[in-house]
Amino acid sequence: MHAPTAAGTRVVVRDVRRVYSNGVVALDGVNLEVAPGEFVALLGPSGCGKSTLLRLVAGLDGPQGGTVKVGEERQRGATLDYRTAGGTGVAFVFQDAHLLPWRTVLKNAALPLELSGVERSRRLEAARAALEQVGLSDALGRYPNQLSGGMRMRVSLARALVTDPRLLLLDEPFAALDEITRHRLDEQLLDIWRRRGMTVLFVTHSISEAVFLAQRAVVLSRRPGRVVLDHRIDLPVERTGALRMSTEFEREAQALYETLRREEPL
C-alpha cells in the first residue's frame, strides 16, 4: 500500500532565505525535506512565498542564503543549469496553462523534448502517450483556443509529464477551474503519481485539495515565510471521490484549518 519511490528524486531545502529585489524578505529560514516519491502539498496564507519556494526548488531563482538540493545536484545561491542537469528531470506546471497558441495540442506537449533535442518521431510518440494519460487522445490536432480551460490545463500537465520527470512541481495548477473539473484533474494527477512514483510538490490554497492529494501537508507562515506545520496526512494511498465526505477527511482538514487561520492576518 505504498507508492513506488524509485522514480522520484529527493529534495532538501536548508535554511533558505530569499529576498526580492525590492527588499521584501519572502522566505527566511525555510527547512524542508521531501523523500523520493513523496507527494507533498504546500499551503500558506496568500503572499507567504509558496510560489517563491517552488521556483527555488525548480532552479528558476537562486536563494540569498541556504541551500536547495534536488537529487544529487547541489546548488548554492545560483540558478541550476538544466542543460547539464538534464537527468534531474524537473517539470513545472503553472497556475494557468501557458500553452503556445500557435501550436497544436500534440506539438505543445512535445515542446520540452523538442527543446532538449529529441528526434521528431520519438518526441511526438512520447507526447501522444502523455496526452493519452491525461485523456486527450482525441484532441491532438486542436489549437489551445479551441479547448476548454480544463482541457488546456490537461495539455499543460501532459507537457510536464512528457519528459518523465522525477520531480513534478505544481503551482496552484487547477485553481482557476470549476470544482467538478478540478476534482477530476486531482484524481487524474493522483492516478499518474501512483503509477509513476515521481516526487510531487503541490502548491495550493485549498485545504481540501491538499488533504485529498498529499501524503504530507506543509504550512508556511505569513511573510517572511517559514514552515509552521509539517503534517502527515493519515489517509490511505488509494483515494476516491467518496473520501471527501468521510470523517477522517474532515479531521485532517480541520487540523490544517486551525493552523492556517492563525497565520491569515485579520
* Positions in the binding site for another protein (CB under 8 A): 55, 58-60, 81-83, 86, 90-92, 94, 96, 98, 100-102, 111-112, 114-116, 143-145, 163
Cell 512528457 -> residue? 162
Q: Which is nearer to another protein, 59 or 197 (CB)?
A: 59
Q: Which is nearer to another protein, 91 or 253 (CB)?
A: 91
Q: What is the largest CA-CA distance in the chain?
A: 56
Give the relative orientation of helices 149-161 and 105-115 as an angle to the nearest 10 degrees: 30
- Least CB distance to another protein at residue 39 (A): 21
- Least CB distance to another protein at residue 109 (A): 13
Q: Which is nearer to another protein, 35 or 111 (CB)?
A: 111
Q: Which is nearer to another protein, 102 or 180 (CB)?
A: 102
Taking alpha carbons only, the member of 177, 222, 253, 205 closest to residue 27 is 222
Taking alpha carbons only, the member of 47, 165, 147 closest to residue 97 is 147
Contact status, residue 189 vs residue 37, Cβ threshold 8 Å: no
Cα gap 161→91, rounded to integer Å: 7
- Least CB distance to another protein at residue 254 (A): 34
Q: How far is CA 55 from CA 11, 115, 176, in A?
A: 13, 20, 20
Q: Which is nearer to another protein, 5 or 95 (CB)?
A: 95
- Least CB distance to another protein at residue 1 (A): 33
- Least CB distance to another protein at residue 242 (A): 35
- Least CB distance to another protein at residue 148 (A): 16
Q: Which is nearer to another protein, 166 or 231 (CB)?
A: 166
Query: With b meaning 16 or more CB within 10 Å and e meaning fewer, what string describes 64-90?
Result: eebebbbbebebeeeebebeebeebbb
- Least CB distance to another protein at residue 101 (A): 4
Report how far Cα 56 is from the mean position of its chain's Cα atoms.
13
Q: Which is nearer to another protein, 2 or 102 (CB)?
A: 102
Contact status, residue 120 vs residue 95, Cβ threshold 8 Å: no
